[in-house]
């Protein structure tokens, strides 16, 4: 009888530990188990070099969403953005690929504008600025092609 109680307590403790580990994995990994209050828009870039799925999307330094995916359409990179429903984007929004520090991770910065019509889910952001490619700049300098 005593060993059954002990096994039951140990089993409950292990189960609680597994639940806590799963919760922390989801929170620290910034994964979404349920869709959440997000809508998707897309942005087309000449180059999305260094930007990865899961990269943060920021407005004024505040995280408002994540990059869902990056695909190629003709000769341009199409980046799918998942943005919180509380964030209003307009047709004059500007999307820029930025880098944290000199060689840090890439993220997407949005300047939401406000003079156009609101973007609806599935719309495309037309005004974009590709990220600065440090390797390309060094290569141009080394080969004497800098103006």
Supply the pLDDT for residue 72: 92
Q: Could you tell me the maximum CA-CA distance found in the chain, to the nearest angstrom? A: 85
Supply the pLDDT for residue 103: 72
For each successive 10 residues of the chain (147 residues), what is the average pLDDT? 84 92 76 68 88 89 90 91 88 88 83 82 85 71 71
Supply the pLDDT for residue 86: 86
What is the number of H-type helices and E-type strands within the chain? 2, 8
Burial 18-35 (b: 16+ CB within 10 A, else e): eeeeeeeeeeeeeeeeee
């Amino acid at each position: 009888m005593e060993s059954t109680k002990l096994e039951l307590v140990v089993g409950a403790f292990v189960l609680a530990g597994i639940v806590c580990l799963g919760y922390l994995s989801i929170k620290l990994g910034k994964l979404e188990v349920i869709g959440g209050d997000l809508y998707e828009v897309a942005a087309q870039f000449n180059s999305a070099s260094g930007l990865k799925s899961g990269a943060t999307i920021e407005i004024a330094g505040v995280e408002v969403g994540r990059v869902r995916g990056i695909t190629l359409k003709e000769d341009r990179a199409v980046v799918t953005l998942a943005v919180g429903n509380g964030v209003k984007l307009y047709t004059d929004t500007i999307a820029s690929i930025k880098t944290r520090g000199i060689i840090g991770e890439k993220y997407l910065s949005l300047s939401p504008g406000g003079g156009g019509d609101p973007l609806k889910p599935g719309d495309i952001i037309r005004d974009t600025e590709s990220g600065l490619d440090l390797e390309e700049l060094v290569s141009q300098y080394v080969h004497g092609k800098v103006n």
